Amino acid sequence: MQNMGAGVFAFYGGDVNQDGAVDGLDMNDVDNDASLGAFGYNSSDVTGDGATDGLDMNIIDNNSALGIFYARPF
């Protein structure tokens, strides 16, 4: 979660497999669904535009490069 200011917060997108990190495993899931022409509401549609495609891969690629992961208190 990122503080955008003025009480507004945003979440990073792309953790398709919900393992806590945005990485190559998420890219594999999106690539597989894009190859199948997946559309509609599904976890691999990172942009929420109804299609799993290169736009979704771009978000995962960018957030993966940032090393996005979640931290859990133990």
Amino acid at 15: D
The parent domain of residue 34 ranges over 19-65
What's the domain count of the chain? Answer: 1
Place of tokens 């393992």: 19
Amino acid at 17: N
Are the beta carbons of 38 and 45 closer than 8 angstroms?
yes
pTM given for the model: 0.80
Distance CA 27, CA 58 (A): 9
Structure letter (DSSP) for residue 53: S
pLDDT at 35: 94
pLDDT tens profile 11-66: 778 999 989 899 999 999 999 999 999 999 899 999 999 999 999 999 999 999 98
Confidence of residue 70 (pLDDT cuts 50, 70, 90): confident
**Is residue 14 assigned to a domain?**
no
Instruction: Read off the tokens for 33.
Output: 């669904």
Q: Which amino acid is at 26?
A: D
Instruction: Answer yes or no: is 59 within a domain.
Output: yes
- In a domain? residue 30: yes
Per-residue pLDDT of 39-48, as tens digits, reads 998 999 999 9
